[in-house]
Amino acid sequence: MYSDTIKSSFFFIETSNLGLLGRRHHTSPFLLITKRTVLVSILFLLLWGCQNPNASNPGNQRPNILFVLTDDQAWNLLGHDGRYPFLETPNLDKLAEEGVVFENSFVTTSLCSPSRASFLSGCYAHRHGVYINGLSDPLKESPMVADILQQSGYETAFIGKWHMEKHANPRSGFNYWLSFVGQGEYIDPELNENGKEFKAEGYITDILTDYAIKWIRQEREKPFCLFLWHKAIHGPFTPAPRDSGAFPDANIQEYENWYDTMEGKPEWLRRGWYYGVHNQVWKESEGKPVPDKVNPRPWDPQNPRWMNYLRTMLAIDRSYGLINTELENLGLLDETVIVYSSDNGFFLGSHQRGDKRLMYEESIRIPLIIRYPKIFSPGSSLEGFALNIDIAPTLIDLAGLNVPSEMQGSSLLQLISDKDTINWQESFLYEYFQESYAPGFVTMLGVRNKRFKYIHFPDIHNDIDELYDLENDPGEMCNLILDPKYQNILNMMKTELQNLLIASDYRKPIIQE
């Protein structure tokens, strides 16, 4: 943990032309020749020049980067969250203790392919062009963090689930590539290593971890950036064979918003719950009666599907533990920025659902932990909104590079300069675009601030939108859209949504599946 003197100097760094944190600003030559400049220079050496003599890249002054991404991980799944006390994740709990936990981290689209593209490009889906699952890679004009880091001297690698355009061949920006088509398989997967396809034996999380460790061990003179993007814990939930019998007697505590009757919510939500959301059943339900409320299924504290979901998480924790140990043995742990997150949240039974896509909290919230003790105080937490589109700018900023103006996210390093009073984003835009695979999830645009959430369905007519007071109704059970006492709030949220759409240069995409 750095001293208060160093903490207070972040303001000086941001206002100098060294531009170590945040966006660059112009400063006159006279002002540079001051004690402030000396302080900035000293801090630069402290933060960026302290290299471990045992590290494999002793001449490097920029941090290595490890970005671990899981799939469909609920935001409160780790052991330190306390939601599932029988699920022990000691390695990831240690990561949280040694890093900073972002308490309010969200995706701007809760769907695998668009969210992954947002992590890489720092842009909303309507900008980078990956609107739905498994159709395309980001538009060529999209700024990509791997390209930027590679071009600036980083050795880059991608290991794991890409899940955008439907092929497993190497993508631009990576010196090393190991991936698979689409969702891949948990057991004995087909893989593509630098363009060569082969069938691996074993469990996917273990396999990806082994390749990651092998790549980290390589001798190199450049700093490295490794994207380790897991298949787990996406369905079909398949734990490692060694974990298939874990916590046999455990019970999942009942969710407060399990018994959501959806009364007072949009009719299309109840239609999808009642008849089904996927292609054929959704079409067949057109014009059929929809009840004013649904009768929730009874709670099952040992639901086998959810139990296997939780068991699948155990291999992720083990994976991180092995990689952490490897970095420590190589003398690289404190020289490496470690980012841990998920591509979206997951309902895991909340609101009677087992998916994502909707703009409810369980769907859009994600875990986000960053470990880099030279910058982030160990064991700390930050309350400001952190979005998936903020990760690419953050990594570029940590590498000491200029963040491209095309990126719509902001570097999270700005949050630590003064986390209590900084002028940070007070609300954010959410977007989801209807897929032919599951048309029962309609196109939606929404805005969330610290207290309220407004969800609009631009293609749905003769139905209602949604408005929630998250302070009084954190489970989002009571839709306030028609409540006269909240009409001023509704108008305010509608205005904020329009402002965000304008600010992000929103254009309704044309999706050709």
Express each pLDDT in 49-101 by its tens digit: 333 332 333 334 799 999 999 999 999 999 989 999 999 999 999 999 999 99
At 511, the pLDDT band (50, 70, 90 cuts) reads confident
At 420, the pLDDT band (50, 70, 90 cuts) reads low
DSSP state of 49: S
Cβ 387 vs Cβ 409: under 8 Å: yes
The mean per-residue pLDDT over the stretch 286-312 comes to 95
Cβ 114 vs Cβ 444: under 8 Å: no
Predicted local confidence at residue 513, as pLDDT: 80
Strands 224-229 and 155-160: parallel
Condensed to tens digits (0 to 9), the pLDDT of residues 426-484 reads 999 999 999 999 999 999 999 999 999 999 999 999 999 999 999 999 999 999 999 99
Predicted local confidence at residue 38, as pLDDT: 34
Condensed to tens digits (0 to 9), the pLDDT of residues 306-321 reads 999 999 999 999 999 9
Predicted local confidence at residue 422, as pLDDT: 57
Average pLDDT, the chain: 88
The CATH number corresponding to 64-247+303-425 among 3.40.720.10, 3.30.930.10, 1.10.10.10, 3.40.50.620 equals: 3.40.720.10
The CATH number corresponding to 267-295+429-503 among 3.30.1120, 3.40.1350, 2.160.20, 3.30.70 equals: 3.30.1120
What three-state secondary structure class fits 16? coil
Predicted local confidence at residue 4, as pLDDT: 35
Residues 6+ away with beta carbon under 8 Å from 42: none
CA distance 43 to 176: 34
Percent of the chain with pLDDT over 70: 87
Predicted local confidence at residue 418, as pLDDT: 60
CA distance 260 to 156: 46
Predicted local confidence at residue 424, as pLDDT: 86
> Where do the structural domains in the chain lie, given as residue ranges?
4-48, 64-247+303-425, 267-295+429-503
| Domain 64-247+303-425 and domain 267-295+429-503 have a common topology | no
Predicted local confidence at residue 397, as pLDDT: 97
Give this prediction's pTM.
0.88
Condensed to tens digits (0 to 9), the pLDDT of residues 225-284 reads 999 999 999 999 999 999 999 999 999 999 989 999 999 999 999 999 999 999 999 999
Rg over alpha carbons for the chain, rounded to the nearest Å, is 23
Chain centre distance of CA 59: 32
Predicted confidence (pLDDT) at residue 501 exceeds the cutoff of 90: yes
